[in-house]
Structure 1
Amino acid sequence: MLISDPLYGEFEIDGLLEELIVSKPVQRLKKIHQAGAGFLVNSRWTISRFEHSVGVMLLIRQLGGSLQEQVAGLLHDVSHTAFSHVVDVVLENEVEDYHEAIFMDVIKQSSIPAILEKYGYEVENILDTSGWSLLEQPAPALCADRIDYTLRDRYFYGNLALEDIQKFLQDLFVFQGKLCVKTIERAEWFVKIYYQEVLDFFLHPLNIYATSSLANVLKLSLAKQILTLEDFLKTDHEVLQQMKASHDQDVLALLQQLHENVEAREEQENYDIHFRNKVRLIDPAIYHQQRLWKASEISNHVKAMNVSALERFEQGVYVKIINEELS
């Protein structure tokens, strides 16, 4: 199997990874939007959990990660529910980790353990993400997961030049098992890009509107037993169709508020929605004088960006709906 990725290039994939990619649990991720509900109000926001998961796998491979860690990278989002993190808003889960809490249960009830066992791997050993230093790291460190969703979204949605992405990837390397960069210039660049992602995009007024509105209709559908939590393991489209097929007038009225003619903006006075999400900070490690430093220890610019980001996360976003009528 030849995989061509816009960020990382072409890779020949076979054996275990190929079988996992074509498996039903991984293929399902093609129909789970990474931006949650955003595609309902902006048809450009279409990157899927599948594209991100394969990207994480390829980045780990490019960085010299083991086959086992590549597998863990490919599978790390298999348990994401329909509409990704919208379920965390539905369940009022502030740490946004519902998909992590159900991860092993979802995996064990799928075809994945049998595929792993065919190649001599035990599911518990290979999917314990705490053992993979490239795939996941506690914030604010760099890791393949954060790097891929940031670069991928900013490339497709934010007019980020591929040339700049390549410069960053060439600066990225592994030292004592940890991801770091060689220069302060690349560290500052990634911090800026990361906050464009988690502040300007995640907290974009339209994204907030879509998340809040869809969470409301999902809560109502759960309360009316139109949906169960188990239904969230279907695809985005399947869950939407299930709600529409209920013909419940309250549910249908709320769904009709999700369309591309919605206009919303940030406004602290007379706002309609106040939204806070998980604090996401970044402070890349820099290799300097034969040791690792936090970027904020060397760069006042990084330190200032982190202070500003924390203030914005703590304040949250105030959204005023300008128009939600279908034309």
Structure 2
Amino acid sequence: MAYPGGQLSEEKVFKDPVHRYIHVRDKLIWDLIGTKEFQRLRRIKQLGTTYLTFHGAEHSRFNHSLGVYEIIRRIIDDVFVGREHWDHNERLLCLCAALLHDLGHGPFSHSFEKVFRLDHEDFTQAIILGDTEVNAVLRQMGDGFPKKVAEVIAKTYSNKLVVSLISSQIDADRMDYLLRDAYYTGVSYGNFDMERILRVMRPREDQVVIKRSGMHAVEDYIMSRYQMYWQVYFHPVTRSAEVILTKILHRAKKLYENGYTFQTEPTHFYSLFSGNVTLSDYLKLDEAVILYYFQQWQEEKDEILRDLCSRFVHRRLFKYVEFSPTNEQMEKLMELRRLFKKIGIDPDYYLVVDSSSDLPYDFYRPGEEGERLPIYLLMPNGELRELSRESVLVDAISGKRRTDHKLYFPSDFLSDGATKRTTKKKILEILEG
């Protein structure tokens, strides 16, 4: 079934710093972009608190979503068209899933989800399937169409080739966010030859494969991803801001549960605190709303909430030291907690271990948890070969998980003052040792 609006009478374009232009020819896509649920993504930053480290990182989930759509559009309209294994009837489904894949992200995304035990993918599906403008637009393709879009995003759709375009180890989502995040943060780590990768992509029955001649471009892509995670996404200063953000939300929740009277009532947080978040409640949340409360809570009577909000708003972040969760280090942490309490600093909010972990490339190994579909190379003789079997570089990093631990604390609270000088000195000795 075709969308009633069909093609636009004139192509619409968005000027884009990464892809130059984003082209919209289908009225279905144009109508989805105009929905209030999609427009909300303008008010959700793509990189959460990273703007406190890289000041250019102010871009939104909105322009990332458009970028993913554009990459998919180019793949299926320019590369896959007329090729075996590609069903052109899946075109609009693919474009919709690409555009809407991040629809359910909340403010400050992953930090927010951890505190309130939410999952943005659940909300993405709820928006697509619920009483929303997005659902109304999608249903014009047929009552079952929203369900198909949700299944692609949930990775349960029957056509695995369609799923792999949106979600795999070399998908449109990753390609756009690496290039886009590198551009806005001003780093070069995330750059790779996307044009080359698109040209050598080929459809197969269950997933996208890469022509053997494009292997080096894929190696570059995987190394770019590795570098972006450790130089940008897991940057220790960004993580410091995330620690403070998380502790603000935990503190506000605890105060609410203890019957504290807020000077600025957390109206938008009530359903989050009680664990009964409706879709309507969730869609009212964006980063402007959260930052409004942080601004206001700088005037609260509660010392901890007031201080943490002031730190976040004015970028007075925690310092950090390397931390390894060995028995010896854990004993030091327990001693630090005791000493923090002794000088009147609550270690639950001001002494925080944060861990980051990444696996740049892997493939499914029998007996291990999780399904990691490999990247396959299409050899000249038509055979498919898993990437690490051909690439020495990828083989060297395949299956190797890197984990990093940091201990965060407010160094200004430990400055040499008139009170409790001896204890503060001992704390600093442990931290520096």
Q: TM-score range by the shorter chain?
A: 0.7 to 0.9
Q: Distance in 1 between matches of 2:75 and 2:294?
A: 43
Q: Tell me the distance in 1 between the aligned counterparts of 2:219 and 2:235.
A: 22
CA deviation map 1:8-66 (0-9, x unaligned): 34313441101111111111111111212222454322221111111111111111071
Q: Could you tell me which amino acid in structure 1 is paired with residue 376 of structure 2?
A: A
Q: Work out the CA distance in 2 between the residues paired with 1:188 and 1:116.
A: 38
Instruction: Kindly provide the CA deviation profile for residues 82-119 of structure 1, in whole angstroms up to 9, marking residues without a partner as x.
Output: 1111123314x6xxx71113333233142111111234
Determine whether 1:85 maps to 2:110.
yes
| Higher relative contact order, chain-length normalized (CA < 8 Å, sep 6+) | 1
Following TM superposition, by how much is the alpha carbon of 1:260 offset from its aligned partner in structure 2, in angstroms?
4.5
Provide the secondary structure at the position in 2 that maps to 1:34: coil
Partner of 2:65: 53
Q: CA RMSD in A?
A: 2.9
Q: Which residue of 2 aligns with 1:254?
A: 308
Q: Distance in 1 between matches of 2:412 and 2:216?
A: 42
- For 1:278 and 1:173, the matched residues in 2 are separated by 31
Amino acid at match of 1:128: E
Aligned partners of 1:162, 1:39: CA distance in 2, in Å? Answer: 19
User: Is the contact made by 1:20 and 1:112 (CA closer than 8 Å) also made in structure 2?
Assistant: yes
Query: Equivalents in 1 of 2:225, 2:244: separation in Å?
Result: 26
Decide which of 178, 197, 213 is 2:228's aligned counterpart: 197
Partner Cα distance (1:291, 1:6) in 2: 38
Assess, with a 3 A threshold, how the Cα gap between structure 1 residues 265 and 179 changes in structure 2: closer, same or farther. Answer: farther
Shift of 1:254: 0.5
Could you tell me whether the CA contact under 8 Å between 2:45 and 2:59 is conserved in 1? yes
The change in CA–CA distance for 1:317 and 1:162 in structure 2 (over 3 A counts) is closer
Aligned to 1:30: 42
How many equivalent residue pairs? 315
The 1:307/1:164 distance shift into structure 2, 3 A limit, reads same
Q: Look up the SS of the partner of 1:133 in the other structure.
A: helix
| Residue equivalent to 1:4 | 15
1:123 pairs with 2:143: no
Moved more, 155-164 or 69-78: 155-164
Whether 1:155 aligns to 2:183 is yes
State the shift of 1:205 in Å: 0.3
Q: Cα gap change, 1:48/1:319 in structure 2, threshold over 3 Å: closer, same or farther?
A: farther
Gaps of 5+ in 1: none
Q: 1:31 to 1:125 in 2, by over 3 A?
A: same
Instruction: Please give the residue correspondences for 1:174-185 in structure 2 after superposition, counting only pairs within 5 Å.
Output: 174-182=203-211, 183-185=214-216
Change (3 A) 1:181 1:88: same
Q: Equivalent residue for 1:318?
A: 406
Amino acid at match of 2:306: L
Aligned to 1:19: 31
Report matched runs for 1:129-278 at 5 Å.
129=152, 130=155, 131=157, 132-137=162-167, 141-157=169-185, 158-159=187-188, 164-182=193-211, 183-225=214-256, 226=266, 227-228=269-270, 229=272, 230=277, 233=283, 234-246=285-297, 247-249=299-301, 250-258=304-312, 259-260=314-315, 262=317, 264=319, 267-268=322-323, 273-277=352-356
Q: Whose radius of gyration is greater, 1 or 2?
A: 2
2:119 paired with 1:98? yes
The share of aligned pairs that are identical, in percent, is 24
- Aligned residue in 1 for 2:91: 66
Q: For 1:78, give the aligned amino acid.
A: L
TM-score between the two structures when normalised by the length of structure 2: 0.65
TM-score (structure 1 length as normaliser): 0.83
| Amino acid paired to 1:22 | G
Q: 1:282 aligns with which of 361, 365, 382?
A: 361
Change (3 A) 1:324 1:60: farther
Q: Is there any run of 5+ residues in structure 2 with no aligned partner, and where? A: 1-11, 77-89, 257-265, 325-331, 334-350, 363-374, 414-433
Matched residues in 2 for 1:37 and 1:180: separation? 35
Q: Give the alignment of 1:292-303 within 5 angstroms.
A: 292-303=384-395
Aligned-partner Cα distance in 2 for 1:168–1:73: 18
Contact kept in structure 2, 1:221 and 1:243, CA below 8 Å = no
| Structure 2 contact 377–387 (Cα < 8 Å) conserved | yes
